[in-house]
């Protein structure tokens, strides 16, 4: 027999209205009452009807994840992280792809928010980096949290989760420099993504700290795709008698895998003649041979903390989450694709 709110109220010795207030996380409920009701909920394994909750009052128990990213692995990891937190909080998740180049994107976003009666949104790059979107959400009075490539800013501490791509790119470049590589090619991702500029700046800073001059001939402006990695490597290595490149840093793992593929077609041994590194530690980094040195970016954990930060906004003062991490630095994973300069 299905457990009802009446059963919870009876076991807890409170009214159905009090149970409803506890389940809806209203901040006015006393802690003792809250704990008593939640113990009854757990004992009976009561599962609130989310659809009924949304229809019954003004509060919404649905949040959204908005993305525009060609990397399917990134999207799935972000989705799983937010979804796991939604289950813990008793919320539903609406996943909504957008295109930042679509002139009707903002109107589409407004329609989705109103149709789904969202309590809040998690925004991922590059949408999270567009002030027009955040201004729109502010006008609509919608809670949101942005996942951003960058370093923490005092202005956005309460609404942003930062990924320090700058530091991670600095460390990967340093890894190559300390292995004797001086001429390091860099295949950049989409210019629209702030991660591209952050990773490039980290690369430049490492060169400067090791007293190496930045040479724009070592930079290829590409896209975050395997095909762009292929073209980037071909371009950088085509006249290698002049540039003498001994290492390539791919803007992400897909690009690095493409660079490795192109190098193999050119008869270049990895890592004996050329070291290649990626970024993000996606499955691409482990499906190549040799496996790619990369920067591990825990997107599922990052998105969990983004959702946790969002719920501190949607649920008011009760049970504020004090263990949220708002800044992540991808950690370097050294594998067989990089080695000492021969």
pLDDT in tens, the chain (342 residues): 678 878 888 899 988 778 877 776 666 678 888 889 889 888 888 876 554 454 444 457 889 999 987 778 899 999 999 999 998 888 889 998 888 788 888 888 888 888 888 889 999 998 999 888 888 888 888 889 999 999 876 556 578 999 999 999 999 999 999 999 999 999 999 998 999 999 999 999 999 999 999 999 999 999 999 999 999 999 999 876 678 999 999 999 999 999 999 999 999 999 999 999 999 999 989 999 999 999 999 999 999 999 999 988 887 645 566 789 999 999 999 999 999 998
Residue 243's pLDDT is what? 83
Return all residues near 136 (Cβ < 8 A) that are at least 6 apart. Answer: 106, 109, 110
Please name every residue paired with 220 in a beta bridge, in sequence order, or none if there are none. Answer: 187
Q: How far apart are the first and last CA of the chain?
A: 71
d(CA 166, CA 290): 25
Judge: domain 62-164+299-328, CATH 3.40.50.2300: yes
What is the reported pLDDT for 138?
Answer: 86
Looking at residue 30, its pLDDT comes to 82
CA angle 167, 172, 174 (to 5 degrees): 90
pLDDT number for residue 59: 56
How far is the C-alpha of 337 from the C-alpha of 14, rounded, in Å? 63
Closest by CA to 324, choosing from 302, 295, 296, 293, is 302
CB 276 within 8 A of CB 256: yes
Fold for domain 165-297? Rossmann fold (3.40.50)
Q: 94, 81, 11: which is closest to 45 by C-alpha?
A: 11
Count Cβ atoms below 10 Å from residue 43 Cβ, excluding itself. Answer: 12
Alpha helices in 90-193 (DSSP H): 105-116, 131-140, 165-178
Instruction: Enumerate residues 6+ apart whose C-beta is below 8 A from 156.
Output: 146, 148
- The boundaries of every CATH 3.40.50.2300 domain in the chain are 62-164+299-328, 165-297
What's residue 154's pLDDT?
53
Q: What's the topology of domain 5-48?
A: 434 Repressor (Amino-terminal Domain) (1.10.260)
Strand 294-296 to 331-333 pairing: antiparallel
Residue 273: per-residue pLDDT: 95
The segment(s) of the chain belonging to CATH 1.10.260.40 are: 5-48
Half-sphere exposure of 329 (CA within 13 A, CB side): 12
């Amino acid at each position: 027999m299905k457990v009802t709110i009446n059963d919870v109220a009876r076991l807890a010795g409170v009214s159905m209205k009090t149970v409803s207030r506890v389940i809806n996380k209203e901040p006015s409920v006393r802690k003792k009452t809250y704990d008593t009701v939640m113990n009854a909920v757990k004992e009976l394994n009561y599962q609130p009807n989310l659809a009924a909750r949304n229809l019954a009052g003004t509060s919404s128990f649905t949040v959204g994840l908005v993305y525009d990213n060609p990397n399917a692995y990134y999207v799935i990891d972000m989705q799983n992280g937010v979804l796991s937190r939604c289950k813990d909080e008793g919320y539903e998740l609406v996943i909504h792809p957008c295109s930042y180049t679509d002139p009707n994107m903002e109107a589409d976003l407004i329609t989705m928010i109103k149709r789904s009666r969202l309590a809040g949104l998690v925004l991922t790059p590059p949408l999270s980096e567009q002030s027009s979107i955040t201004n729109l959400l502010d006008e609509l009075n919608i809670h949101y949290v942005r996942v951003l490539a960058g370093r923490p800013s005092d202005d956005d501490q309460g609404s942003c989760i930062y990924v320090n791509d700058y530091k991670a790119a600095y460390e990967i470049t340093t890894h190559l420099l300390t292995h004797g590589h001086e001429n390091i090619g860099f295949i950049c991702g989409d210019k629209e993504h702030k991660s591209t500029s952050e990773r490039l700046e980290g690369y430049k800073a490492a060169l400067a700290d090791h007293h190496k001059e930045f040479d724009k001939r070592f930079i290829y402006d590409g896209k975050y795709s395997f095909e762009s990695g292929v073209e980037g490597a071909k371009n950088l290595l085509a006249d290698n008698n002049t540039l003498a490149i001994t290492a390539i840093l791919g803007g992400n793992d897909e690009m690095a895998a493409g660079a490795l593929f192109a190098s193999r077609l050119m008869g270049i041994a990895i890592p004996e003649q050329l070291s290649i590194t990626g970024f993000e530690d996606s499955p691409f980094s482990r499906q190549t041979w040799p496996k790619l040195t990369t920067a591990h970016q825990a997107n599922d954990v990052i998105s969990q903390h983004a959702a946790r930060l969002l719920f501190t906004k949607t649920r008011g003062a009760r049970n504020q989450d004090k263990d949220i991490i708002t800044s992540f630095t991808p950690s370097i994973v050294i594998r067989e694709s990089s080695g000492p300069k021969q």
